[in-house]
Chains A and B, each alone.
Chain A
């Protein structure tokens, strides 16, 4: 059985691509670090102009809209991206940081007070949902609605789609913001001008769609895995407590190791030779970020967490023009989490755990937990 944390290792060492089977579609997965970065830069050969088909598997059955700016190419890509960039830079504001601090302290207080706490539902989902209200600058009460959506906004555990429900919710948020505009994400998009015109509802829904979907399980699973790591390596908490300068390198190392997004797709507009495999015009390739992040050509002991790894040129947030807009947000959350856990928690005991495994036709990859039940022990003195 291949290691579920690095299922592509053997394939990657043998060959630059792995032919994956996704619901009958053969997609060459580009596995090596250098090749992934090269392909991510080459948007003319590997295009994102493919509504609902950039993610693999495709999302035709879970959403009706194209996601912006994920699913467009230059030259319009940068115009679309600029319109929402100010929101994605909000994590740099002191007021954002202060709210995030208070939120994390409150969640840690609650975790320390309980006998047992299930991290996904009682910690990570509330953390993600409340933090997103700060990013989008909407009333924090909305978080209560989002918490009810579970880990995935698109799929229930049984695979049935609830994407339509989320689109309906966003539509009503845009309509409400039209009635009483504010400083929030929805109002800003209502007012935004693109090439001298207002955005269509379809475009606005496309921006909201990725903010809710792309920014959800990624944050939830990364947070859960960081907590599981500290539970399994209690000395690491003490180590960071003594060397808080390691927080940034530790966060980047967790992003590298635990990237929840196995890969993402591109479409070849023309017949393309991908490391010896021909992709017909209109066919797809995959950029396997998760595999690139474990490439032994670049990362020494790639499957070992090194909290002070530096340099660490991981591609957890992608590479090139589509690099993750949510990265500031993700970094603020995870750096804050690492700092606060190291200051306030001595040890985390795991009482129950169940892995969440992404299963495709020919690989199985661990991307997080279905369930992680724990008991927390406070640091003896506060730092």
Chain B
């Protein structure tokens, strides 16, 4: 099972040794602030926004169209933005590091 590190909004590291499911799901399980997953993972609420650390971008891959459109409306969007609910964890992502994006407004 892949290991995932979240960098929280206050700059701390939270390591999840055995991530299973989506980034949003494990973020919620570990009560990481800013990973709320309000819509349950259907790309509607944007409360699961993360920045993928640059060295992982290629392996995580870019967002699909609907996710991309949703992210486009987010003022905090950067080139390495993803919605956590759309990133399914696989062994290929063992060691992944993501940063929780700041709240909108």
Query: Taking beta carbons and an 8 Å cutoff, which residues of A are in contact with B?
Result: 34, 37-38, 41, 74, 78, 248-249, 251-252, 298, 309-315, 317, 319-321, 323, 327-328, 331
Contacts and interface: CB of A to CB of B under 8 A. Distances in A.
Interface string B30-72: 0000000011111111000000000000000000101101100
B86 interface: yes
A313 B47 CA distance: 12
Given A78-B105, A321-B105, A313 B70 contact: yes
Contact of B38 (A74, A78, A315, A331): A331
B42 A249 contact: yes
A312 B69 contact: no
Nearest to A78: B105
A311 B67 contact: yes
Contact of A312 (B38, B44, B104, B105): B44
A331 B44 CA distance: 13
Contacts of B40: 248-249, 251-252, 331
Name which of B40, B43, B64, B104 has the most chain A CB atoms within 10 A of its CB.
Answer: B40
Contact of B42 (A34, A74, A313): A313
Interface of B: 38-45, 64, 66-67, 69-70, 73, 86, 104-105
A310 B38 contact: no
A311 B43 contact: yes
Nearest to A314: B44
A311 B105 contact: no
Nearest to A321: B105
A227 B104 CA distance: 35
The 5 closest A-B pairs by CB, nearest first: A248-B40, A311-B43, A312-B42, A311-B66, A252-B42
Contact of B73 (A37, A298, A317): A37
A251 B64 CA distance: 23
A323 B45 CA distance: 9
B81 to A, nearest CB: 15
A313 B38 contact: no
A327 B66 CA distance: 21
Nearest to A312: B42
A72 B72 CA distance: 25
A261 to B, nearest CB: 16
A311 B73 contact: no
B42 A311 contact: yes
B41 to A, nearest CB: 7
B105 A313 contact: no
Contacts of A249: 40-42
A56 to B, nearest CB: 23
A307 to B, nearest CB: 12
